[in-house]
């Protein structure tokens, strides 16, 4: 709008309230999904925020959420990012309304809003990411391959600077959403409530009997009882690897512990690759849910 362009022209410095307005628009837009999956863009937005951040390489300081490089080829075409154009397009509407926000801040704030609005924990977040260029695109192959085992998971997440406990805490986000055959080749949701953030991912891992699905697609597991849920090989590994299993069991038994640890790990994920001095605040903010603002 003219008012917003004028703000940019006069060096508009957004406050926490301005970011809260963006958050509130995100909450509206992810819910406006009548004809899409389970009626929510929340899960695919959580995946966008993660894939935008999970390219980080601690050793070289490259990748991560700072430059929002998934806007560019070839990163937008990397196999792991198949389907994420849906999330980028949904959020583009908001970028048009709030032109002052960087794409990296918009995508990560959207991840936070999606988690919180789907009844998940508060995730501390702060702005400061800047838009980069094609030259910042990280190489392909930095995101995890779902057909692999524990050594691969560790390679990928240790490279970002996470430990076993943080890896397992993050993995609970697969309570949300589903796999699409035309994106990853895998098929189906992990839980019965894919638009509500719960610790059901861990509970189901331990409570159900998981068997290899007989089909033409990639190797995945299905629950023996209903055959309507799925686990990726990388998900199932959390019950097989001794160190991973310890944490997965703890999160199955204690939803509060899971929420607390997920919040910390996801917040850390979303800040990967952003130089500390770029952040506008020394401590991350807690954005309010729509419900909290209305009560």
Active site residues: 51, 190
Return all residues near 96 (Cβ < 8 A) that are at least 6 apart.
Answer: none
Residue 205 within binding range of ligand HIF, rule CB under 6 A: no
Closest CB 176 distance from ligand HIF, rounded Å: 4
**Are 131 and 93 in contact, with CB atoms under 8 Å apart?**
no
> Between helices 164-171 and 255-270, what is the axis angle to 10°?
100
The two tokens of residue 146 are 């779902």
Footprint (CB under 6 A) of ligand HIF, residues 219-238: 232, 234
128 or 144: CB nearest ligand HIF: 144
Chain position carrying tokens 């068997």: 211
Cβ-count burial 87-108 (b if 16+ within 10 Å, e if not): bbebbeebbeebeebbbbbbbb
Residue 177 within binding range of ligand HIF, rule CB under 6 A: yes
Closest CB 128 distance from ligand HIF, rounded Å: 22
Residue 184 within binding range of ligand HIF, rule CB under 6 A: yes
54 or 98: CB nearest ligand HIF: 54
What is the rounded distance in angstroms from the CA atom of residue 182 to the CA atom of residue 48? 17
Residue 169 within binding range of ligand HIF, rule CB under 6 A: no
What is the rounded distance in angstroms from the CA atom of residue 79 to the CA atom of residue 83? 9
DSSP assignment letter at 39: T
List 29, 112, 153, 248, residue binding ligand HIF (CB under 6 A): 153
List 94, 179, 230, 270, residue binding ligand HIF (CB under 6 A): 179
Residue 71 within binding range of ligand HIF, rule CB under 6 A: no
Return all residues near 26 (Cβ < 8 A) that are at least 6 apart.
Answer: 45, 91, 94, 109, 110, 113, 114
Closest CB 75 distance from ligand HIF, rounded Å: 16
Q: How many residues bind to ligand HIF according to rule CB under 6 A?
A: 23
Residues making contact with ligand HIF (CB under 6 A): 43-44, 46-47, 50, 83, 144, 146, 153, 170-171, 173-174, 176-180, 183-184, 186, 232, 234
């Amino acid at each position: 709008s003219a008012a917003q362009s004028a703000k940019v022209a006069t060096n508009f410095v957004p406050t926490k309230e301005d970011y809260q307005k963006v958050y509130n628009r995100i909450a509206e837009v992810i819910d406006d999904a009548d004809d899409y999956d389970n009626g929510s863009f929340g899960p695919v937005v959580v995946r966008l925020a993660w894939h935008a951040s999970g390219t980080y390489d601690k050793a070289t300081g490259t990748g991560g959420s700072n430059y929002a490089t998934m806007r560019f080829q070839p990163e937008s075409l990397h196999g792991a990012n198949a389907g994420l154009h849906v999330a980028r397009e949904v959020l583009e509407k908001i970028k048009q309304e709030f032109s002052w926000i960087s794409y990296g801040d918009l995508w990560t704030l959207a991840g936070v809003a999606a988690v919180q609005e789907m009844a998940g924990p508060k995730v501390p977040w702060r702005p400061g990411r800047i838009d980069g260029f094609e030259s910042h695109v990280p190489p392909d192959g930095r995101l995890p391959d779902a057909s692999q085992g524990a050594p691969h998971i560790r390679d990928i997440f240790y490279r970002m600077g996470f430990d076993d406990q943080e890896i397992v805490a993050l993995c609970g986000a697969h309570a949300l959403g589903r796999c699409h055959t035309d994106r990853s080749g895998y098929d189906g949701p992990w839980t019965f409530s894919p638009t509500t953030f719960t610790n059901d991912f861990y509970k189901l891992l331990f409570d159900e009997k998981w068997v290899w699905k007989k089909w033409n697609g990639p190797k995945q597991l299905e629950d023996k009882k209903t055959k309507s849920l799925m686990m990726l090989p990388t998900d199932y590994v959390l019950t097989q690897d001794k160190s991973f299993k310890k944490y997965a069991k703890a999160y199955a038994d204690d939803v509060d512990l899971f929420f607390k640890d997920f919040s910390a790990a996801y917040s850390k994920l979303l800040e990967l690759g952003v130089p500390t001095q770029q952040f506008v605040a020394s401590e991350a903010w807690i954005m309010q849910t729509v419900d909290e603002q209305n009560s």
